[in-house]
Copies of this chain bind each other. A is one copy, B any other.
Amino acid sequence: MSGSLQNISGLDRVIHEPARLILMALLSSVASADFLFLLKESKLTKGNLSVQLSRLEEAGYLEIEKTFRGKIPHTEYRLTKKGKSAFDLYRKSLGSIFK
């Protein structure tokens, strides 16, 4: 493989999946976000969103903070340091296809 392209085979699959890529991009642009915000911005279904967020959490890319706002549960999602650097690396790796 002639150099830069080799990064692509090692592309982080957790991030590469479009549903999660959108979430990572969204989350990287804000300090934190709640479920409804992500639901609306990503246009994913609730179920899909929930699964993908769990997957990102398992990977250690985001932390989930569950609190209450009055009586209603409220959850905030935010990228971890690990998540941020994984996303940075992902973007660098992908850079090779943009010449």
Contact = CB atoms under 8 A, between A and B. Distances in A.
Given A91-B97, A91-B98, A97-B91, A5 B18 contact: no
Count of this chain's copies in the oligomeric assembly: 2
- Which applies to chain A's interface (DSSP): helix, strand, loop or mixed? helix
A44 to B, nearest CB: 8
A25 B43 contact: no
Contact of A16 (B6, B9, B18, B96): B18
Interface size class of A (residues with CB under 8 A): 20 to 34
B1 A8 contact: no
Interface in A40-99: 40-43, 91, 94-98
A8 B26 CA distance: 11
A-B CB proximity, top 10 nearest = A25-B97, A11-B18, A8-B22, A1-B41, A8-B18, A8-B21, A1-B43, A5-B22, A5-B25, A9-B18
